[in-house]
Structure 1
Amino acid sequence: MARETAQTDEAMIQRLRDVGLRVTGPRLEVLKVLSSGEHLDVEAITGAARARLGTLTSQAVYDMVRHFLDTGLVTKFDRPGWPAVFEIAGKPHQHALCVNCGRVANISVPRQELPDKRLRGWNLDSVEITFKGECPDCR
């Protein structure tokens, strides 16, 4: 287990370096929190990272997340009525959003065709579909 953690840490350190960000303890810890696979808002990220580091401000996490977004390390999912959530960038996927509690889950669906022909003059580069409903806990 310690070996797996060391390999994961090395991979995260390399990801930070690959995008030109300096490796710091707080940045590494925030990436570790995000690597859980959950969709987390800034307050949840701050709380989890603070539990391990001792001190960390929400503003520092906002700044880190902004840098991670700018460099493509993380992606953002906006949830109407709730704070945006973040996850480690990876393969393209869609999301399911619980309309009661705001929980977000990843869904892999076949690649969607872009409707370029129906949107004359537009230059589209991606498709984002959100499935909305009730999660198992809210049903």
Structure 2
Amino acid sequence: MNDSSPAVIKTLLKQVGMRATPARIATLTVLSQSSKPLSHAEVSAELENLGVDKTTVYRNLNDLVGANLLRRAELGDHIWRFELANHHDEACSPHPHFLCIDCGDVFCIDEKYLQTTDFQLENKNVTVKEILVRGHCNDC
């Protein structure tokens, strides 16, 4: 999403048949301004000062995934993380992630460092949908 203004977000929500509530607009705004996937706890912390409770955040995240506006990823640490799923914006297309095994921080990896292609294994066609790289971040 190149433009994360409330007007653009309202239009996007209406296009998928969802009401443009203040909580949904705020949720999409937070995720559109993030450079990495965010957990429910991280989104909740960002929206706490707006008076949006954790239950509403949880429900909205799941509803937005169901509307294909967000993508949900579990990166091996049993924590769901959410990011934009705009298929027309290269920055929001599926891409690899890095998970620090010490601090748990997650970073998006530019696809130029990893090639994600389709390939074949003995009578099975494989489409790579998600790549996760684990290691130690520079801060750890």
- TM-score interval w.r.t. the shorter chain? 0.7 to 0.9
SS of the equivalent of 1:86 reads strand
Contact 1:114–1:124 (8 Å) recurs in 2: yes
Q: Separation in 2 of the partners of 1:44 and 1:112?
A: 28
Q: Choose which of 103, 106, 117 in structure 2 pairs with 1:113.
A: 117
- Listed one character per residue, the Cα deviations across residues 59-98 of structure 1 (whole Å, up to 9, x for unaligned) are 2111111111111111112132352211112222111111
Aligned in 2, Cα 1:107/1:85: closer, same or farther, shift over 3 Å? same
Cα offset, 1:33, TM superposition: 1.3
SS of the equivalent of 2:129 reads coil
Contact 1:82–1:102 (8 Å) recurs in 2: no
Give ranges in structure 1 of 5+ residues lacking alignment: none
The total of aligned residue pairs comes to 129
Cα offset, 1:119, TM superposition: 4.7
Q: Separation in 1 of the partners of 2:61 and 2:74?
A: 14
Task: Report % sequence identity.
Answer: 27
Aligned in 2, Cα 1:108/1:80: closer, same or farther, shift over 3 Å? same
Q: Mapping of 1:1-139 within 5 angstroms?
A: 8-37=5-34, 38-51=36-49, 53-54=50-51, 56-89=52-85, 90-110=92-112, 111-116=115-120, 118-120=121-123, 122=124, 124-138=126-140
Give ranges in structure 2 of 5+ residues lacking alignment: 86-91
Structure with higher strand content? 2
TM-score, normalised to structure 1's length? 0.81
Contact 2:117–2:127 (8 Å) recurs in 1: no
TM-score, normalised to structure 2's length? 0.80
Cα offset, 1:124, TM superposition: 4.5
Q: Which has the larger radius of gyration?
A: 1
Contact 2:71–2:83 (8 Å) recurs in 1: yes
Aligned in 2, Cα 1:81/1:114: closer, same or farther, shift over 3 Å? same
- Of residues 68-77 and 7-16 in structure 1, the stretch that sits farther from structure 2 once superposed is 7-16
Q: Separation in 2 of the partners of 1:119 and 1:22?
A: 47
